[in-house]
Structure 1
Amino acid sequence: MPEISAGILLHRTRPSGRELLLVHPGGPFWARKDAAAWSIPKGLIDPGEDREAAARREFSEEVGAVPDGALLPLGAFRLSSAKQLVAFALEGDFDPQALVSNSFEMEWPAHSGRRQSFPEVDRAAWFGLAAAREKLHLGQRPLIDALLAAVER
């Protein structure tokens, strides 16, 4: 059975058009990656946890803010890692300068025996739709079309 993650695609409307909040993963593997490296705030659903509650918890852990408002279901998406992502949309705002992320620990440099701590997310930014399509992981790009279909209903 594949692992299931839940996440929130925060979006807002500006005079220049719709913008999406994306986050960049922290740690040495992602440090120099940009195109197809960004994500929505998301993470694994705990056993027995409600999907919406998991999406809010993960957003809070990765961004440092608890999103208020009704979540709009966008559906389930298969990611390249064989995980499944259950995504929700939420219209709102967030100041990327206010980012506060949980951290994780790993051996770094590899095979050195030393452990270092890194933020789960090292930065957040707002992107227009075209830029978001380039920044998002390939498996998350369908979220943009799902969002547009959902908000245009």
Structure 2
Amino acid sequence: MTAKQSAGILLFREADAARADAAATDPASAAQVLLGHMGGPFWARKDERAWSIPKGEYEPDEGPEAAARREFQEELGLPPPPGGLLPLGSVRQTGGKVVTVWALAGDLDPRRVTPGTFEMEWPRGSGRLQAFPEIDRVAWLDLAQARQKVVAKQEVFLDRLVERLRG
């Protein structure tokens, strides 16, 4: 049996002009990334390790880059900003799913996000389906904050982004 596959886009930007001097010597020091807090009842009271890169599953007949762009729009309700994608590779998550991520330089106003939804039985065993947002909030985080909040297996993508920015 083939492992499930997921693809996503890690949007990044230079934080602000106040960090411009630091960015001149270390571009990664001024970077912020856009992460989403996972929606649904399991994640509602969690913060650390409860944020994720906007991503989602795809079938073998869809290419991972196309899936990453589609999932970005489905999860956030906005298309990814224009620009070239920088490959950050893949990682196998704890449950076995293989996640492939690209970085994209761009900006996005988190207040404009209208997340997609999913349905699940809640409360468990009740027989009732309820809709929950895929992502219940979105925020720009500096890399130190992002390391504390992103799910553990996705932290490697932050490291790879730093490598790419330092080039």
Does TM, scored on the shorter chain, surpass 0.5?
Answer: yes
- TM-score (norm. length: structure 2): 0.88
Q: Deviations over 1:23-78 (max 9, x none)?
A: 01111111001100100000112221111110000000001111121111011112
RMSD: 1.0
Q: Deviations over 1:76-100 (max 9, x none)?
A: 1121121111110000011111111
Aligned residue pair count? 153
Taking only the aligned residue pairs, the percentage that are identical comes to 52
What pairs with 1:80-95 in structure 2 (closer than 5 Å)? 80-95=94-109
Q: Displacement of 1:152 after TM fit? A: 2.1
Structure 1 gaps, min length 5: none
In structure 1, the partner of 2:88 is 74
Question: Which consecutive segments of 4 or more residues in structure 1 shift more than 6 A?
Answer: none
Higher helix share: 2
Alignment of 1:116 onto 2:120? no
* Distance in 1 (alpha carbons) for counterparts of 2:60 and 2:97: 15
In structure 2, the partner of 1:54 is 67
Q: Displacement of 1:126 after TM fit? A: 0.5
Matching residue's letter, 2:44? A
Equivalent position SS for 1:141: helix
Structure 2 gaps, min length 5: 20-29
- Larger gyration radius, structure 1 or structure 2: 2
Alignment of 1:100 onto 2:101? no
- TM-score (norm. length: structure 1): 0.96
